[in-house]
Amino acid sequence: MTMAGRDTPLKVGLIGFGAIGRSVAALLPASVALGVLTRSAPADLPVGAEALADADALLAWGPDVVIEAASAEAFAQTAPACLGQGIDVVAASVGALQDSALLDRILAICSETGSRLVVPAGAVGGLDHIAAAALHPETTVTYVSRKPPAAWSAELEAMGQTEAASRGEVSLYEGNAREAAARYPRNLNAGLTIALAAGFDRVRVRVVADPAVARNTHEIVVSGPLGTSTMSFCNMPDPSNPKTSAITAYSLVAATLRRFEALQ
Ligand SMILES: NC(=O)c1ccc[n+]([C@@H]2O[C@H](COP(=O)([O-])OP(=O)(O)OC[C@H]3O[C@@H](n4cnc5c(N)ncnc54)[C@H](O)[C@@H]3O)[C@@H](O)[C@H]2O)c1
């Protein structure tokens, strides 16, 4: 792999060592120096990785780039400080950006320091296509999150819809990406990712419990005068966290390494 213009190892800071964090650590090339910010130093850190106790230790370690793979709270606590030091952040917990005050603060920090917040495709894809089509003012985007009823058991019970969801699809939410992510922060990262690519006012979100799907499925329809595109992503769950798609860690690593490659 070409790391354009580098003669020292790339230093990657990783926040979180759960399902995504562990996969990210395993996927990064051996030539990368890894520092991991975790709540408690786990026994299975990769050989040579540095355990970092808090955000100050992470910044003092001097990463070239930070991958956040922890939680919306961890993102809100640490990403502004990293970006403020001129360090790019590649984020998994994109749902945190439903908070428009946090998003505005981050954009202001980035324009001041020149750092960049990278929103990778994560569990979905096609962001380049969505962003291109959204340059046309008449383009609209629909995102449907479809999961088996078991993934929404608590919500369906609260709605009195458990029985109905065993027979056919039940709509849990229909509206905009910001509100969807605020309601379901762990489940609607993808909706926010799409809205950040297309623009918040372009995207309609539906959240559906569907007994006909065996796995979490993301459907994106982009339509307008440029044409109609339909994308569907049916992901395998991460073995250690079934709520998380295994592809997400791969997306974070690809987006991180790409920043240092000659070919963009
Ligand atoms: N962008 C996407 O498409 C996408 C897809 C799946 C998950 N996610 C998000 O990625 C994040 C991580 O997902 P996961 O499946 O790895 O979760 P996980 O629960 O398996 O692991 C998260 C880890 O981060 C740790 N953590 C939490 N707060 C921390 C903090 N302040 N400092 C240090 N460590 C902290 C937890 O202890 C845990 O070990 C979640 O916010 C999830 O919503 C995003």
Indicate whether 43 pLDDT > 90.
no
* Per-residue confidence (pLDDT) for residue 201, from 0 to 100: 93
Report the candidate in 87, 80, 67 with the shortest Cα–Cα distance to residue 106. 80
Tell me, in angstroms, the distance from the centre of ligand 1 to residue 74's CA. Answer: 9
**The three-state (H, E, C) secondary structure of the chain, written as one string:** CCCCCCCCCCEEEEECCCHHHHHHHHHCCCCCEEEEECCCCCCCCCCCCEEECCHHHHHHHCCCEEEECCCHHHHHHHHHHHHHCCCEEEECCHHHHHCHHHHHHHHHHHHHHCCCEECCCCCCCCHHHHHHHCCCCCCEEEEEEEECHHHHHHHHHHHCCHHHHHHCCEEEEEECHHHHHHHCCCCCHHHHHHHHHHCHHHEEEEEEECCCCCCCEEEEEEEECCEEEEEEEECCEECCEEEEECHHHHHHHHHHHHCCCCCC
Domains in the chain, ordered, with CATH? 11-123+247-258 (3.40.50.720), 127-234 (3.30.360.10)
Tell me, in angstroms, the distance from the centre of ligand 1 to residue 70's CA. Answer: 3
* Per-residue confidence (pLDDT) for residue 4, from 0 to 100: 67
Report the candidate in 149, 133, 255, 137 with the shortest Cα–Cα distance to residue 207. 149
Per residue in 29-66, is it b (16+ CB within 10 Å) or e — as a string? eeebbbbbbbeeeeeebeeebbebeebeebbeeebbbb
Indicate whether 135 pLDDT > 90.
yes
* Per-residue confidence (pLDDT) for residue 7, from 0 to 100: 80
Residue 37 in contact with residue 54, Cβ under 8 Å?
Answer: yes
* Per-residue confidence (pLDDT) for residue 98, from 0 to 100: 94
Tell me, in angstroms, the distance from the centre of ligand 1 to residue 18's CA. Answer: 6
* Per-residue confidence (pLDDT) for residue 119, from 0 to 100: 98
- Residues making up the annotated binding site for NAD(+) are 123, 189
3-41 residue pLDDT tens:
666 788 999 999 999 999 999 999 999 999 999 999 888
| Ligand 1 atom at minimum distance from 70 CA | 24
Residue 170 in contact with residue 164, Cβ under 8 Å?
Answer: yes
Tell me, in angstroms, the distance from the centre of ligand 1 to residue 192's CA. Answer: 16
Which residue is catalytic, options 37, 92, 218, 235? Answer: 218
Residue 206 in contact with residue 179, Cβ under 8 Å?
Answer: no
Phi-psi map region of 86: left, alpha, beta (phi>0 left; psi -120 to 50 alpha) = left
Confidence class for position 187, pLDDT limits 50, 70, 90? confident
**CB-defined site of ligand 1, < 6 Å:** 15-21, 37-39, 69-72, 74, 92-94, 122-123, 186, 189-190, 193, 241, 244-245, 248
45-100 residue pLDDT tens:
999 999 999 999 999 999 999 999 999 999 999 999 999 999 999 999 999 999 99
* Per-residue confidence (pLDDT) for residue 128, from 0 to 100: 98
Indicate whether 2 pLDDT > 60.
no
153-183 residue pLDDT tens:
999 999 999 999 999 999 999 999 999 999 9
201-258 residue pLDDT tens:
999 999 999 999 999 999 999 999 999 999 999 999 898 988 899 999 999 999 999 9
* Per-residue confidence (pLDDT) for residue 6, from 0 to 100: 75
Amino acid at 192: L
The structure tokens listed for 194 are 């799409």
* Per-residue confidence (pLDDT) for residue 8, from 0 to 100: 87
* Per-residue confidence (pLDDT) for residue 248, from 0 to 100: 98
126 class by beta-carbon count within 10 Å (0-12 exposed, 13-18 middle, 19+ buried): middle
* Residue 218 appears among annotated catalytic residues: yes
Can you tell me the mean pLDDT for 134-152? Answer: 96
The structure tokens listed for 103 are 């998003």
Residue whose CB lies within 8 A of the most ligand 1 atoms, among 24, 71, 218, for a mutation test = 71
